[in-house]
Amino acid sequence: MDYQAILDEIYEEIQPELKRGKVADYIPALAEVAQEQFAMTVTLEDGTVYSVGDAKKKFSIQSISKVFTFTLALDIYSTELYKRVGVEPSGNPFNSLVQLEYENGIPRNPFINAGAIAITDSLVSHYKDHYKTLEVIMNFVRELSGNPSLSFDPEVANSEMEYGDRNLSLAHLMKSFGNFENDVTNTVMTYFKHCSITMNTEELSRAFLFLAFAGKDPISGREFITCPKTKRINAVMLTCGHYDASGEFAFHVGLPAKSGVGGGIAAVVPGKMSIAVWSPALNRYGNSHAGTLALEKFTTKTGVSIF
Protein backbone atom coordinates (compact mmCIF):
# COMPACT_ATOMS: atom_id res chain seq x y z
CA MET A 1 0.00 0.00 0.00
CA ASP A 2 1.32 3.45 -0.90
CA TYR A 3 1.16 5.10 2.50
CA GLN A 4 2.87 8.26 1.27
CA ALA A 5 0.19 8.77 -1.39
CA ILE A 6 -2.52 8.21 1.20
CA LEU A 7 -0.95 10.72 3.60
CA ASP A 8 -0.61 13.26 0.78
CA GLU A 9 -4.28 12.77 -0.09
CA ILE A 10 -5.31 13.25 3.54
CA TYR A 11 -3.15 16.37 3.73
CA GLU A 12 -4.98 17.84 0.73
CA GLU A 13 -8.42 16.94 2.02
CA ILE A 14 -7.81 18.13 5.55
CA GLN A 15 -6.82 21.70 4.60
CA PRO A 16 -10.33 23.23 4.84
CA GLU A 17 -10.78 21.63 8.27
CA LEU A 18 -7.78 23.41 9.78
CA LYS A 19 -9.85 26.53 10.26
CA ARG A 20 -12.31 24.64 12.44
CA GLY A 21 -12.09 23.87 16.15
CA LYS A 22 -10.27 25.94 18.72
CA VAL A 23 -6.75 25.89 20.13
CA ALA A 24 -6.65 25.08 23.89
CA ASP A 25 -6.72 28.37 25.76
CA TYR A 26 -6.86 27.43 29.43
CA ILE A 27 -3.21 28.40 29.76
CA PRO A 28 -1.45 31.21 27.88
CA ALA A 29 1.49 29.02 26.82
CA LEU A 30 -0.82 26.77 24.78
CA ALA A 31 -3.19 29.52 23.62
CA GLU A 32 -0.54 31.21 21.53
CA VAL A 33 0.08 28.22 19.22
CA ALA A 34 -0.92 29.09 15.64
CA GLN A 35 -4.10 27.22 14.66
CA GLU A 36 -3.65 26.14 11.08
CA GLN A 37 -0.92 23.55 11.43
CA PHE A 38 -0.96 19.87 10.63
CA ALA A 39 1.43 16.94 10.62
CA MET A 40 1.05 13.20 10.32
CA THR A 41 3.56 10.37 10.48
CA VAL A 42 3.25 6.61 9.99
CA THR A 43 6.02 4.29 11.24
CA LEU A 44 6.16 0.68 10.05
CA GLU A 45 7.66 -2.41 11.68
CA ASP A 46 10.92 -2.05 9.79
CA GLY A 47 11.30 1.61 10.71
CA THR A 48 10.08 3.03 7.42
CA VAL A 49 8.60 6.46 8.05
CA TYR A 50 5.97 8.33 5.99
CA SER A 51 5.17 11.93 6.86
CA VAL A 52 3.20 14.95 5.68
CA GLY A 53 3.05 18.48 6.99
CA ASP A 54 5.07 19.93 9.86
CA ALA A 55 6.40 16.58 10.99
CA LYS A 56 9.51 18.16 12.51
CA LYS A 57 7.57 20.81 14.44
CA LYS A 58 7.50 20.21 18.21
CA PHE A 59 4.25 20.42 20.15
CA SER A 60 3.22 19.82 23.76
CA ILE A 61 2.19 16.15 24.04
CA GLN A 62 0.15 16.76 27.19
CA SER A 63 -2.13 13.79 28.00
CA ILE A 64 -0.36 11.53 25.52
CA SER A 65 2.38 11.41 28.16
CA LYS A 66 -0.09 9.49 30.35
CA VAL A 67 0.49 6.42 28.16
CA PHE A 68 4.19 6.52 28.99
CA THR A 69 3.66 6.87 32.74
CA PHE A 70 0.95 4.19 32.72
CA THR A 71 3.37 1.86 30.93
CA LEU A 72 6.08 2.49 33.53
CA ALA A 73 3.69 2.03 36.46
CA LEU A 74 2.07 -1.10 35.02
CA ASP A 75 5.53 -2.58 34.51
CA ILE A 76 6.45 -1.83 38.14
CA TYR A 77 3.22 -2.58 39.99
CA SER A 78 1.38 -5.05 37.72
CA THR A 79 -2.12 -5.84 39.00
CA GLU A 80 -1.37 -4.05 42.29
CA LEU A 81 -1.82 -0.84 40.31
CA TYR A 82 -5.57 -1.48 39.94
CA LYS A 83 -6.05 -0.94 43.65
CA ARG A 84 -5.32 2.71 43.01
CA VAL A 85 -6.65 3.28 39.48
CA GLY A 86 -9.38 1.46 37.53
CA VAL A 87 -9.66 0.65 33.82
CA GLU A 88 -13.27 1.67 33.15
CA PRO A 89 -14.39 4.52 30.91
CA SER A 90 -15.55 7.33 33.15
CA GLY A 91 -18.50 8.64 31.21
CA ASN A 92 -17.61 12.04 32.63
CA PRO A 93 -15.38 14.98 31.65
CA PHE A 94 -11.65 14.37 32.08
CA ASN A 95 -11.30 16.64 35.09
CA SER A 96 -14.54 15.78 36.88
CA LEU A 97 -14.55 15.44 40.65
CA VAL A 98 -18.03 13.98 40.91
CA GLN A 99 -17.22 10.38 40.12
CA LEU A 100 -14.00 10.55 42.13
CA GLU A 101 -16.01 11.60 45.17
CA TYR A 102 -18.69 8.94 44.69
CA GLU A 103 -16.07 6.27 44.15
CA ASN A 104 -14.00 7.08 47.23
CA GLY A 105 -11.01 8.63 45.55
CA ILE A 106 -10.22 5.77 43.15
CA PRO A 107 -10.02 7.26 39.64
CA ARG A 108 -11.81 5.37 36.90
CA ASN A 109 -8.83 4.97 34.61
CA PRO A 110 -5.22 6.12 34.13
CA PHE A 111 -6.11 8.60 31.38
CA ILE A 112 -8.45 10.96 33.18
CA ASN A 113 -6.51 13.62 35.08
CA ALA A 114 -7.07 12.13 38.53
CA GLY A 115 -5.92 8.72 37.31
CA ALA A 116 -2.81 10.08 35.66
CA ILE A 117 -1.91 12.08 38.77
CA ALA A 118 -2.33 8.94 40.88
CA ILE A 119 -0.03 7.12 38.43
CA THR A 120 2.59 9.86 38.76
CA ASP A 121 2.22 9.64 42.54
CA SER A 122 2.81 5.88 42.34
CA LEU A 123 6.00 6.48 40.35
CA VAL A 124 7.22 9.05 42.89
CA SER A 125 6.61 6.48 45.64
CA HIS A 126 8.67 3.93 43.71
CA TYR A 127 11.55 6.18 42.71
CA LYS A 128 11.50 7.95 46.06
CA ASP A 129 11.91 11.49 44.82
CA HIS A 130 10.44 13.87 42.27
CA TYR A 131 13.67 14.61 40.45
CA LYS A 132 14.50 10.95 39.96
CA THR A 133 10.93 10.18 38.85
CA LEU A 134 10.97 12.86 36.20
CA GLU A 135 14.37 11.68 35.00
CA VAL A 136 13.12 8.10 34.63
CA ILE A 137 10.08 9.28 32.66
CA MET A 138 12.17 11.52 30.42
CA ASN A 139 14.73 8.82 29.73
CA PHE A 140 11.99 6.32 28.92
CA VAL A 141 10.42 8.66 26.37
CA ARG A 142 13.85 9.55 24.98
CA GLU A 143 14.69 5.90 24.42
CA LEU A 144 11.30 5.09 22.90
CA SER A 145 11.44 8.03 20.53
CA GLY A 146 15.07 7.57 19.57
CA ASN A 147 15.80 11.20 20.46
CA PRO A 148 18.07 11.46 23.52
CA SER A 149 17.64 15.21 23.74
CA LEU A 150 13.86 15.32 24.24
CA SER A 151 12.82 17.70 26.97
CA PHE A 152 9.77 19.33 28.49
CA ASP A 153 8.86 22.99 28.21
CA PRO A 154 9.21 24.58 31.67
CA GLU A 155 7.14 27.59 30.61
CA VAL A 156 4.20 25.34 29.80
CA ALA A 157 4.66 23.39 33.05
CA ASN A 158 4.72 26.57 35.12
CA SER A 159 1.73 27.96 33.28
CA GLU A 160 -0.15 24.70 34.02
CA MET A 161 0.70 25.05 37.69
CA GLU A 162 -0.45 28.65 37.77
CA TYR A 163 -3.87 27.51 36.53
CA GLY A 164 -3.60 24.15 38.24
CA ASP A 165 -6.28 24.47 40.92
CA ARG A 166 -8.56 21.88 39.41
CA ASN A 167 -5.79 19.29 39.39
CA LEU A 168 -4.66 20.27 42.89
CA SER A 169 -8.28 19.84 43.96
CA LEU A 170 -8.36 16.32 42.47
CA ALA A 171 -5.10 15.41 44.20
CA HIS A 172 -6.24 16.69 47.61
CA LEU A 173 -9.52 14.82 47.18
CA MET A 174 -7.64 11.57 46.49
CA LYS A 175 -5.41 12.29 49.49
CA SER A 176 -8.49 12.78 51.69
CA PHE A 177 -9.53 9.25 50.68
CA GLY A 178 -6.07 7.86 51.38
CA ASN A 179 -5.22 7.34 47.70
CA PHE A 180 -2.22 9.66 47.53
CA GLU A 181 1.19 9.10 49.04
CA ASN A 182 3.43 12.06 48.34
CA ASP A 183 3.37 15.82 48.64
CA VAL A 184 0.45 17.17 46.60
CA THR A 185 2.09 20.27 45.13
CA ASN A 186 5.34 18.59 44.09
CA THR A 187 3.59 15.56 42.62
CA VAL A 188 1.19 17.66 40.60
CA MET A 189 4.19 19.70 39.41
CA THR A 190 5.94 16.50 38.29
CA TYR A 191 2.74 15.55 36.46
CA PHE A 192 2.62 18.94 34.74
CA LYS A 193 6.25 18.54 33.73
CA HIS A 194 5.75 15.23 31.96
CA CYS A 195 2.63 16.64 30.29
CA SER A 196 4.82 19.44 28.95
CA ILE A 197 7.17 17.17 27.03
CA THR A 198 7.52 18.46 23.47
CA MET A 199 7.78 16.09 20.52
CA ASN A 200 7.08 16.12 16.81
CA THR A 201 4.95 13.52 15.00
CA GLU A 202 8.00 11.57 13.82
CA GLU A 203 9.25 11.17 17.37
CA LEU A 204 5.81 10.42 18.74
CA SER A 205 4.98 7.83 16.11
CA ARG A 206 8.36 6.18 16.73
CA ALA A 207 7.75 6.21 20.49
CA PHE A 208 4.44 4.32 20.14
CA LEU A 209 5.82 1.59 17.86
CA PHE A 210 6.42 -0.85 20.74
CA LEU A 211 2.68 -0.81 21.53
CA ALA A 212 1.90 -2.06 18.02
CA PHE A 213 4.32 -4.93 18.46
CA ALA A 214 3.43 -6.63 21.71
CA GLY A 215 5.60 -4.38 23.87
CA LYS A 216 8.81 -5.01 21.95
CA ASP A 217 10.39 -2.38 19.74
CA PRO A 218 10.63 -4.19 16.36
CA ILE A 219 13.65 -2.15 15.34
CA SER A 220 15.91 -2.29 18.37
CA GLY A 221 14.43 -5.59 19.51
CA ARG A 222 14.17 -4.29 23.04
CA GLU A 223 11.14 -5.41 25.08
CA PHE A 224 9.75 -2.56 27.12
CA ILE A 225 6.78 -4.36 28.59
CA THR A 226 5.21 -7.82 28.29
CA CYS A 227 2.78 -8.77 25.54
CA PRO A 228 -0.26 -9.19 27.85
CA LYS A 229 0.39 -5.82 29.46
CA THR A 230 0.72 -4.22 26.03
CA LYS A 231 -2.68 -5.56 25.06
CA ARG A 232 -4.08 -4.07 28.22
CA ILE A 233 -2.56 -0.67 27.56
CA ASN A 234 -4.08 -0.77 24.07
CA ALA A 235 -7.47 -1.81 25.47
CA VAL A 236 -7.45 1.11 27.91
CA MET A 237 -6.46 3.47 25.08
CA LEU A 238 -9.41 2.22 23.07
CA THR A 239 -12.01 2.49 25.82
CA CYS A 240 -10.64 5.56 27.64
CA GLY A 241 -8.16 7.32 25.38
CA HIS A 242 -10.24 10.28 24.30
CA TYR A 243 -11.87 11.61 27.41
CA ASP A 244 -15.62 11.70 27.10
CA ALA A 245 -15.48 10.99 23.36
CA SER A 246 -13.73 7.62 23.57
CA GLY A 247 -16.77 5.77 22.27
CA GLU A 248 -17.07 8.15 19.32
CA PHE A 249 -13.38 7.72 18.54
CA ALA A 250 -13.53 3.91 18.69
CA PHE A 251 -16.65 4.12 16.57
CA HIS A 252 -15.23 6.39 13.88
CA VAL A 253 -11.51 5.54 13.89
CA GLY A 254 -11.43 2.05 15.36
CA LEU A 255 -7.87 2.16 16.70
CA PRO A 256 -6.33 2.31 20.17
CA ALA A 257 -5.08 5.87 20.51
CA LYS A 258 -4.42 8.67 22.98
CA SER A 259 -4.99 12.34 22.44
CA GLY A 260 -3.66 15.45 24.18
CA VAL A 261 -4.92 19.04 24.38
CA GLY A 262 -1.79 20.15 22.57
CA GLY A 263 -3.50 18.72 19.47
CA GLY A 264 -1.53 15.51 19.17
CA ILE A 265 -2.93 12.00 18.81
CA ALA A 266 -0.85 8.81 18.83
CA ALA A 267 -2.43 5.59 17.56
CA VAL A 268 -1.42 1.99 17.03
CA VAL A 269 -2.45 -0.64 14.49
CA PRO A 270 -1.55 -3.84 16.31
CA GLY A 271 0.97 -5.89 14.35
CA LYS A 272 1.30 -3.27 11.65
CA MET A 273 2.27 0.30 12.50
CA SER A 274 2.06 3.31 14.75
CA ILE A 275 0.69 6.67 13.70
CA ALA A 276 1.03 10.18 15.10
CA VAL A 277 -0.96 13.16 13.99
CA TRP A 278 -0.96 16.78 15.16
CA SER A 279 -3.16 19.77 14.58
CA PRO A 280 -3.66 22.15 17.48
CA ALA A 281 -7.33 23.16 17.08
CA LEU A 282 -9.56 20.98 19.28
CA ASN A 283 -13.14 19.79 18.92
CA ARG A 284 -15.61 20.24 21.74
CA TYR A 285 -14.37 17.13 23.50
CA GLY A 286 -10.81 18.43 23.69
CA ASN A 287 -9.43 16.18 20.95
CA SER A 288 -7.69 17.50 17.84
CA HIS A 289 -10.39 18.24 15.28
CA ALA A 290 -8.31 17.73 12.14
CA GLY A 291 -6.26 15.00 13.79
CA THR A 292 -9.33 12.90 14.56
CA LEU A 293 -10.62 13.38 11.02
CA ALA A 294 -7.24 12.53 9.52
CA LEU A 295 -7.12 9.26 11.44
CA GLU A 296 -10.68 8.45 10.37
CA LYS A 297 -9.68 9.10 6.76
CA PHE A 298 -6.59 6.95 7.19
CA THR A 299 -8.52 3.94 8.49
CA THR A 300 -11.15 4.36 5.80
CA LYS A 301 -8.60 4.64 2.96
CA THR A 302 -6.34 1.83 4.17
CA GLY A 303 -8.98 -0.41 5.68
CA VAL A 304 -6.86 -0.87 8.80
CA SER A 305 -8.98 -1.20 11.91
CA ILE A 306 -9.09 -3.56 14.81
CA PHE A 307 -12.75 -4.37 14.20
DSSP 219: T
Quote the CA–CA distance of 49 and 205 in Å, as a whole number. Answer: 9
Does 283 engage in binding with a copy of itself (CB under 8 A)? no
Does 92 engage in binding with a copy of itself (CB under 8 A)? yes
Quote the CA–CA distance of 189 and 195 in Å, as a whole number. Answer: 10
Annotated catalytic residue 67: no
| Distances in whole angstroms, Cα of residue 177 to Cα of each of 35, 102, 108, 171, 226 | 41, 11, 14, 10, 32
Q: How far is the CB of 247 from a copy of itself (least distance, A)?
A: 4
Annotated catalytic residue 261: yes
Among 190, 244, 266, 286, binds a copy of itself (CB under 8 A): 244
Nearest partner of 63 among 35, 39, 94, 40, judged by Cα: 94
Annotated catalytic residue 243: yes
Judged by beta carbon, residue 109 or residue 145, the one nearer a copy of itself is 109
Does 24 engage in binding with a copy of itself (CB under 8 A)? no
Per CB under 8 A, the segment of 3-11, 50-58, 230-238, 257-265 that binds a copy of itself is 230-238
Does 166 engage in binding with a copy of itself (CB under 8 A)? yes
Among 232, 272, 301, 302, binds a copy of itself (CB under 8 A): 232
Annotated catalytic residue 77: no
Q: By CB under 8 A, how many residues form the interface with a copy of itself?
A: 52
Among 18, 33, 76, 87, binds a copy of itself (CB under 8 A): 87
Chain positions contacting a copy of itself, by CB under 8 A = 86-92, 96-99, 101-102, 108-109, 163, 165-166, 168-173, 175-176, 180, 184, 228, 230-232, 234-236, 238-240, 244-248, 250-251, 254, 256, 270, 300, 305-307
